[in-house]
Every structure is written in C-alpha cells, then in structure tokens.
Amino acid sequence: MLGVLKDDGYRVTAPRRALLRALAETTEPLSVQELHAQVNPDYKPGDEESEEEINLVTVYRFANLLVEMGLVRRVEFGQGYYRYEREESQTGPHHHHIVCRQCNRVEDFHGCDLQGLTERLEGDTGFRIERHQLELYGVCPQCLENPAPDTRRTSGGRTVAVE
Amino acid sequence: MLGVLKDDGYRVTAPRRALLRALAETTEPLSVQELHAQVNPDYKPGDEESEEEINLVTVYRFANLLVEMGLVRRVEFGQGYYRYEREESQTGPHHHHIVCRQCNRVEDFHGCDLQGLTERLEGDTGFRIERHQLELYGVCPQCLENPAPDTRRTSGGRTVAVE
DNA sequence: GTAGTTGCAAATTGTTTGCAAGCCT
DNA sequence: AGGCTTGCAAACAATTTGCAACTAC
C-alpha cells in the first residue's frame, strides 16, 4: 500500500510505515487506540521518556486518509468507537465478522451470499444497493467453555460486571 | 410498553410517555437528538422560555433504560452516533435497514434469511450465534433521480460538500 | 414517605482542527 | 525549497455522572 500512497503524491514516513505494518499484521479490525499501542510498543501514558512516540492524532489522521483513499474500511461493533481494517481489495475475498460479546474477539468469515437478497431488494425498493455490512454476535467457543461472570452491556456498549 | 415499565417497578412520567410515543410513531430508528426534538416541538437552543423542555440527559437515560430492558435496540449506521428503535418483540417481524448515503433515509426490509448461514457458521467456528445485524447501503430512488452535488464521507461519517 | 426521576453542571471519551515546526522528495 | 506531515494544545461532539430538587406511587 506504500506504493499507492506514493503514486497519489502522499509521503512515506516512519509513522505511516509502522501503521501500515500494524494493519497488515492482523486480521482483526483495530481501534485507533490499538493501532496507537501497536506502533508505540513501550508507551506509557504520561511518559516523558518516549521521544519516539507516534501521536494519537497522527493515527486518526492517517486512518482517515486510508479510508478516503479506499485502502482501509471502517467498521463498528457497537463499542462506542470505530475499528479499521484493510479493504477487501487489499486482503482478498469479501468477508464479514463474528463478534464475541464476552471477550470482544472478532473473527472473519466468508460466504455471506447476499446476492439474491440485494437483487430482490433493488427491485422491491428502487434503491441502488452499493455495499452491505453484516455482523454476527454471539459467544466464542473459548468463552462458552469458560463462562465469565454474568455481564450485560451498558448503554455505552462497554461490558461491565453486574453486582 | 408503559405496562412493562410499571411491572418492573419503574415509574411512568410525562417525559417517558412522550419518548415512548415518539418511538412508536415512526418506523425509522431515531437518534437522541431527533428524539429530543420530537418531544420538544418548540425548543430552540438557548431558549429561556421553554419551561417544559425535556432534557437531553433524560433522553439518553431513558433510551439506555429501554435498551437494558430489551424493549428498544440500538443501531448504528456509521454516522458517529447511535439510533434507537423498538425491539422486534414490540413491533413485529425481524427486519434490517437500507440506508441512503445521500439523504440518510433509512428504510426497513424483511426477509434477510440468514438461518442457513448462521447454522453453517456455528458448525464451522464453534461460536454460539445469538443475533446479527445487517445494513445495506446505497442510493434511494429519489436521490437516484435527483442527484445531489458530489459528496464524500469525512472520517467522522458526516457528509460534506466537496469544493 | 420514599425510592425512582429529572435537570443542571461538569466530567469523560472519541475524534477533529489550528498552527508552527519538521521532514520527505 | 516547498509542500505534505507531525505533534501539541485546544476545540468539538456524543454520552455519562454527581447531586440536589422533585414527583409518581
């Protein structure tokens, strides 16, 4: 993706290289905070030493740039913030996500097969349908075996223990 | 839904009645701002006169309560805020949404037919799948005929005109 | 009367913007 | 050199929380 950046007149810098690597090294969509942590391995909040820190703002700005360029897509799982992952043009076939509501793990899956549905709906509704987003929510095999203390989702989508 | 509230030991107040009415009167998922506007017909920001204003915080709190009670569900369309609509247990059959990326209109549709997919994936992944969320994005018939000035989505998901 | 509710102000959290300094090409 | 980038501080927007006053039951 460095090449695409360059070709479009954007510059290749150390922060951008690090961020692209972080995005390439995982299959899970990453939040800005996670990206920030990935590219700042030894960053501690309020740390005066970390000269080399890549700023959070830089992460936001570059993530947005990648989305505008169509290299990355933004997804959301009701957690109160966005997550970013490479576009399918960069990674391979069309996919969606299953999210574990207990540990928040996100897994990809393929074969959503919504062709028939979208065609039917274009006829029924008159919409031109351009894309779709599908998320499945449930409990992953690990959490099924290892049930956490009873939890519920607060309004913010964060999970908290119930007393 | 007033009955359910009462049965659970919650109180029925004027703001709550108004909010439930607003939710019942539309099929589109409403944002907190929209709910607030619905229940405060003649509210102008900074208006000293509006004695009877229902506070935004009250809207947030009640929306969250309804979600916790399972009477309302929270959906999101990448707009930077949540929207709320009555749960399917309250309104009828299972449905999803088509969103127009030009005018932001949201339309319901039925018959998503993901039974087969979820069963297959429960086998493949070991997840117990509890629910799913599907959004289709495109352009509605009105906007297809009446194309707006070229727009793009900013990082925040708000739509702005391109110079 | 008492616990559930509301409004107001203030705090939080996620994200964006203005601007001067710095760095890729 | 010159414009794209970065960092820092500050601004913004959505949402939550503390607390005293209020009200449904």
Q: How far is B41 from chain A (nearest CA, A)?
A: 26
The stretch B27-36 carries a mean pLDDT of: 95
* CATH class in words for A92-163: alpha beta
End-to-end C-alpha distance for chain A, whole angstroms: 48
pLDDT (tens digit per residue) in B67-103? 999 999 999 999 999 999 999 999 989 999 999 988 8
The third-level CATH classification (topology) of the domain covering A1-87 is Arc Repressor Mutant, subunit A (1.10.10)
B25-CA/C24-C1' distance, Å: 57
pLDDT (tens digit per residue) in A47-92? 444 556 899 999 999 999 999 999 999 999 999 999 999 999 999 8
d(CA A128, CA B137): 8
Whole-number mean pLDDT of chain A? Answer: 85
- Please classify residue A76 by burial: count the beta carbons closer than 10 Å to its beta carbon, then call 0-12 exposed, 13-18 middle and 19+ buried: buried
CB-hemisphere CA count at 13 Å for A55? 4
A104 interfacial to chain B (CB closer than 8 Å)? no
Return the domain boundaries, chain B. 1-87, 92-163
Instruction: Indicate the residue of A60, A113, A140 with minimum beta-carbon distance to B127.
Output: A140
A114, B92, B136 from B106: Cα distances, Å: 19, 18, 10
- For CA atoms B2, B4, B5, B6, the dihedral sign is positive
pLDDT (tens digit per residue) in A119-150? 999 999 999 999 999 999 999 998 888 766 54
Token digits of residue A83:
């997550």
Q: Is the CB of B152 under 7 A from strand C?
A: no
Contacts of A58 in chain B (CB under 8 A): none
Residue A19 identity (one-letter amino acid)? L
Q: Is the CB of A33 under 7 A from strand C?
A: yes
